[in-house]
Amino acid sequence: MKSFLLKEKAMTLVKVSRKTLETSIELELDLFPQKKEVIIETEVGFLNHMLNLFSHHGGFTLKLKAKGDLEVDFHHTVEDIGIVLGEAISKALGSRENIYRYGEATIPMQEALTQAVVDLAKRPYLYFKVNFPSEKIGNFDTELLKEFFYALTVNAQITLHIRNFYGENSHHIAESIFKAFAYAFRRALTPVTEVRSTKGTL
């Protein structure tokens, strides 16, 4: 699939790294890969699973290796992965001038139903309305999902609304969130021939 970037040299594969005293992260992202490839090693099993869902359902190549201070907890690792993925998305979007801009998806996962709505203009904002029945999914704190998406939206410079309508199983709810985001994001990337803004720029 051709890149949607018309006014600048196409950048299909982007690489971003982040190294702090708390985490070390290397990430490669391709929003329009010729051949999708997903390799995710974060040391946080549940996040591996969620990012695999995001990559598979969005049709993206994502290669990610992350190590963090898990002896403290998962917080720094999860948040920093959100930061790096957001930076990679922003870099991959380039000028953002020839994309549909908006995307929406409402996705079920058995008894759970979640809606994600995105705007890829450079207006970072997260609305996250999700009530998890449990505080943990295995050893993963469910509150960290909001932290992940906040870091992603700020660094990707996108608007993202996530709203869970209902669900009884926290794992199912989380899956419906990542799948809904993947499909909404993919739809927002649809190529167009004009800037989707009266300002003439995003």
As a whole number of angstroms, the distance between CA 119 and CA 2 comes to 21
Instruction: Return the CATH superfamily for domain 13-188.
Output: Imidazole glycerol phosphate dehydratase; domain 1 (3.30.230.40)
- Name which of 41-45, 46-50, 92-96 the model is least confident about: 92-96
Q: In the predicted model, is pLDDT for residue 201 greater than 80?
A: no
Residue 70 and residue 43 in contact, taking contact as beta carbons nearer than 8 Å: yes
Q: In the predicted model, is pLDDT for residue 3 greater than 50?
A: no
- Cβ neighbour number for residue 168 with a 10 Å cutoff: 10
Which pTM was predicted? 0.91
Provide the b/e sequence for 135-158 (b: ≥16 CB within 10 Å): eebeebbbebbebbbbbbbbbbbb
Q: In the predicted model, is pLDDT for residue 198 greater than 90?
A: no
State residue 196's pLDDT score.
64
pLDDT digits (tens, 9 = 90+) for 132-150: 999 999 999 999 999 999 9
Nearest 10 degrees: Cα torsion 174, 178, 179, 183? 150
Residue 107 and residue 176 in contact, taking contact as beta carbons nearer than 8 Å: yes
- Name which of 60-69, 73-82, 94-103 the model is least confident about: 94-103
Q: How far is CA 69 from CA 15, 74, 161, in A?
A: 23, 8, 30
Structure tokens at 125: 């904002």
Compute the average pLDDT of residues 85-109: 95
Closest of 103, 121, 125, 126 to residue 197, by C-alpha: 121
User: Which amino acid appears at position 98 of this protein?
Assistant: N
Residue 29 and residue 89 in contact, taking contact as beta carbons nearer than 8 Å: yes
Q: Where do the structural domains in the chain lie, given as residue ranges?
A: 13-188
Q: How far is CA 57 from the centre of its chain?
A: 12
Query: Hey, is 28 helix, strand or coil?
Result: strand
